[in-house]
Amino acid sequence: MTASWPNTLPQHFLREDFAGTSPDNLVASEMSIGPAKVRRRSTAAVSTMNGSMVMTDAEFTIFEAFVANDLAGRAKAFNFPHPRGGAPVLVRMTKSYTWVPDGIEWRVSIQLEVLP
């Protein structure tokens, strides 16, 4: 069964830190004359989402346990709330998360790959 982002954690990225990319799914082949031929690489492509969330000590402990146990240290995909609303999306953490103090809380930054 696919894990889901815990309800006890923040459900949205901070708006000022959020960034997303659309899938880069094209292949261009140079021609001897004229413009390149362009085609889709596949029908399934990934996009990315990067952002941070502010977490309390308790939330950060839950987050660390979720990554270590439910995601097997980032090896497994999980369902994550879509940042613009709508249905959750299947994602995978692509890099180790980082955290820095933010007042008495923690600003946790994660990078996600949105799977088809």
pTM (2 d.p.): 0.83
Tally of CA atoms within 13 A in the half-sphere of 74 that contains its CB: 9
Whichever domain contains 55, its CATH number is 2.40.30
Average pLDDT in the chain: 91
Cα 10 to Cα 30: distance, rounded to the nearest angstrom: 47
Which runs of consecutive H residues, i.e. helices, occur in 1-116? Answer: 57-65
Cα 19 to Cα 28: distance, rounded to the nearest angstrom: 26
Integer CA distances (angstroms), 95 to 50, 61, 84, in order: 10, 19, 22
Q: Is the pLDDT of residue 3 over 90?
A: yes
Element (H or E) spanning 38, and its range?
Answer: strand 37-40
Domain count, the chain: 1
pLDDT tens, 40-84?
777 778 889 999 999 999 999 999 999 999 999 999 999 999 988
Phi and psi (nearest 5°) for 39? -145, 165
- Domain extent for 47: 3-114
